[in-house]
Chains A and B, each alone.
Chain A
């Protein structure tokens, strides 16, 4: 297993354009998380999936953002009508959750750096 992968690694787009990022988690992991990290700050939680179900969304995730995880495998994060404030690193992480509040390590991908001009 090669770990969590994210594509593209870098994306430059013009304000108003739509962008889509992909995350491929570790294959046996049932949990997938998206975080956003701005320069010099810690990551902030955006949303997470258990298998294909999206179970929580942060207030940071405006209506312009949508995430999917079809068939509980890879996930996509789409931002519509991008704004300059969307410029950030978007991190994906996956983990195994077996219930009863017992969590295993979250493995992070390398991130997708978005620059909105």
Chain B
């Protein structure tokens, strides 16, 4: 299983763009990259998923370079409500390629006014 490394914490201010990078040097060919957000006292919530290049949804963008050894979650114009822990997961898309979804330590993002 690919191991992920993220910064333990990050600080930002309201209105800024935040980029959180995740390293996954041992990513396998059939692995996808998924990001979750967790608020205090709640379970994690899916944000975005991708395999390569760039993926964008209404919440965030995910940038994945050609070698796929890292990925960057980009949050545009953060607000105080984006203060949370962000997890990067790397794992196979299909169950028959390996059934476990492993979370790392996550990045604690603190957005200040």
| Chains A and B form a bound pair | no
